[in-house]
Amino acid sequence: MAAEVTGTTISADAPLMSAGLDSIGATELSNKISAHLNTELSPTLLFDHPSLRSIADALSVDHETEGVLELEFETTAQEPRDSVQRPQQSAKAQSTPAIVEAISSTLSDILGTTVATDAPLMSVGLDSISATEFTNALAEKFDTELPQTLMFDQPTIDAMAGFIAETTEAPISFTLPGGCNDPTALKELGLRAWTANSHWPVSRLAANELQGTSAAYGAFLAPDAFKADPVFFGISRTEARAMDPMAMLVLETTYGALSDSSSNSRAKLANAPIGFFLGAGGSTFSKGLETASGNATKAPSVYSATSGALSVLSGRLSYTLGLTGPCQTTDTACSSSLVAAHQAVSALKLGESPAAAVAGVGVLTVSVSVAFSAAGMLSALGRCHTFDRRADGYCRGEGCGAFYFSTEADDVAVSGTAVQQDGPSASLTAPNGTSQQRLIEAVKAGSGPSLEAHGTGTALGDPIEVCAYFLFL
């Protein structure tokens, strides 16, 4: 029926409007469905349910009607074509109670009976063949490698759950300079006080753009970080070329964090009440930013209106994955990602959403770096000499990071958050020590003994920050 109207076969999950269905065609298709089902349908049916699958779900159709709508339900079971690259996924994480339940269920399927979580597994009837089957089933379920000696090393379900919880990774994902794309590399980055700073890539500069400035340095993503295949997210290559490069980073990185949670398969994300909170700097989708990813659109197109909008940076992810929870982009300069996390925590506490993804993104542009240089914010040496008499400014960097957490899982713990504004200070961009002290006081009760400094590496900001920490220490 849909093919009759559009003249082409439409996959079950493809947005109908993107497949060429206009308002006249939408009315025609709605009328055909209405006539076939012999029922009156809402005139907004195809706008409220933008794919054939969602229409079928809304109408609670039977198999016969699925055939009439020509739904290609097999598409969700198929892997993307070889040309489409899935975002990298790490081992999936669950809370320990959920792991216990999953292990118990798997064992019950093999034995045909329920086993107490503290019972020795060797005494419940498992032989060497079924033990191997059990271990392999768990490895597949948790998407991680498990030793064949698992049952001997961890002899009860409880012990096994603890082992798996420790060996799987939390639902986080990030793309950072210097090839820092996994938790191990990130930990080494901090332990070794390593810098990923370098000169601007020549391909992203025009002649003499940085002459006479202190903006020559930055921490840049590798070129392939901007090469994600948009087809995986249902985006045409034409639209992708018009998109702010930050948008694809947000999609790929946040989807990586969401899919790292074993409760979030791609199919389960559709219509899930998951919130998305993004921290991002003001989009400057200009020549410099376009060049960063090889995107070069010389004339306005149908996609120009949304290509650089901050609201669309977060909205596109919720739209693409079908998330229905709160969705917003926050720009509070250096604190954007932290404030986004605070908003996510607040949403969960208020019951606005049972789970949320939080992300932060930034891509460097020459124009902004030159402006920061003129304002005296950047280090001429390209190094952050934090809490050091050599401090002369900071060095900008780019990247994207995301994590997922929920009210039911314990793989990500947030001990406390708070947000305040400086109020009156020495200048528009200068920090206020008293305000910082109040902020620390607001969160320190639940945050434990650890402290991580901001460390701007400036002669003004560093002393104010250190003085504020005296209250904490």
DSSP per residue, 361-412? EE---HHHHHHHHHTT-B-TTS---TTSTT---B--B-EEEEEEEESS--SS
Give 187's contacts (C-beta < 8 A, 6+ positions apart): none
Asked whether the beta carbons of 430 and 205 are under 8 A apart, the reply is no
Residues constituting the chain: 473
Q: Which residues pair with 175 in a beta bridge?
A: 400
Tens-binned pLDDT, residue by residue, of the chain (473 aa): 777 777 777 777 777 766 666 667 777 777 888 888 777 777 666 666 777 777 777 776 444 444 444 444 333 333 333 333 344 433 333 446 778 888 888 988 888 888 888 888 878 887 778 888 999 998 888 777 788 888 888 889 988 888 887 666 668 888 888 777 776 677 666 656 556 678 888 888 876 788 888 888 898 998 888 888 899 899 998 888 888 899 999 999 999 888 866 556 677 888 999 999 999 986 655 444 444 444 554 567 788 788 778 899 999 999 999 999 999 999 999 999 999 999 999 999 999 999 999 999 999 988 889 999 999 999 988 888 888 889 899 999 999 999 998 887 666 677 788 898 988 887 888 888 888 888 888 887 666 667 788 888 888 888 888 888 887 67
Asked whether the beta carbons of 197 and 218 are under 8 A apart, the reply is yes
Distance of alpha carbon 432 from alpha carbon 39, whole angstroms: 65
**CA-closest candidate to residue 361, choices 190, 263, 221:** 221
3-state secondary structure of 360: strand
At 218, which helix (H) or strand (E)?
Answer: strand 217-219
Go through the domains of the chain in sequence order and give each one's CATH number. Answer: 2-77 (1.10.1200.10), 96-167 (1.10.1200.10), 172-412 (3.40.47.10), 415-473 (no CATH)
At 134, which helix (H) or strand (E)?
Answer: helix 128-141
Distance of CA 79 to the CA centre of its chain: 21
